[in-house]
Homo-oligomer: A and B are copies of this chain.
Amino acid sequence: MAEEMEQWLSSLLRLTDEEEKMTEKQIKIIQAAVDIFADKGYASTSTSEIAQRAGVAEGTIFRHYKTKKDLLLSIVAPVMSKLVAPFVLRDLHQVLDTEYEQFEDFLRAMMRNRLEFVVKHAPIVKIMLHEIPFHPELQSQFKEQLFPQVGERLKRIITHFQSRGDLIEMPPFALLRMSVSAIMGYIFTRCYLFPEHDWNDEEEIERVVNFIMHGLAPRKE
């Protein structure tokens, strides 16, 4: 448990330096693993296939990663942290509680930012989504570490705008859920359902933001 916590903290802290002190072959291994995991799923990918694709002996994989699951976690855990990093880092300049004058500015920035991230790391995010339900280590990282912090933080932001009269009276969790649904709905459709479609991101972001703003505005009269 202490080891997991340490691992998670370290992966959070090194946000910039990726593939830092990795061997050439180790990078090849990661690339091959990401490719095949995303394509066939973790459980039906064999270490021999990864080694083959990476142009490496099978033993080399186990020199760097104790087990196959270790390889998976070393791929997924950092991205999982980074995916929610903007919500958990207190001193991040981009998204701070009071930085945005209007809720819609906050929404726009957040949606642009996270969409960009998912587009960039699409295969790993796909692996993440598929494997979280089956690996207790990832589940606990999500349910115990990430969600409470992120949820609390977002709830405070929403309550802020709500108390200003910008949002309808409603339990903050429900407001949060509907906002996130609308945003994730687009990101998911855009990146996983129809990645080939010729999307106009700015236009769609505007639509979603307007949808949320009108849908959650205080009811007039």
Contact = CB atoms under 8 A, between A and B. Distances in A.
Interface of A: 40-41, 43-44, 126, 130, 133-134, 170, 174, 177-178, 180-182, 184-186, 189, 204, 207-208, 210-212, 214-217, 219
Contact of A215 (B43, B177, B204, B214): B214
Contacts of A211: 178, 215-216
A219 B215 contact: no
Given A214-B214, A215-B215, 6 more contacts: A174-B204, A177-B186, A178-B208, A181-B186, A182-B185, A215-B216
A182 B189 CA distance: 13
A185 B180 contact: yes
A181 B186 CA distance: 8
A178 B182 contact: yes
7 contacts: A41-B41, A43-B43, A126-B133, A177-B186, A178-B208, A184-B185, A214-B216
Contacts of A214: 214-217, 219
Nearest to A217: B214
A143 B219 CA distance: 39
Nearest to A213: B215
Determine chain A's interface SS by DSSP, over half rule. Answer: helix
Contacts of A212: 215
Contacts of A208: 178
Contacts of A174: 204, 207
Contacts of A185: 177-178, 180-182, 184-185
A134 B41 contact: yes
Contacts of A210: 215
Nearest to A39: B134
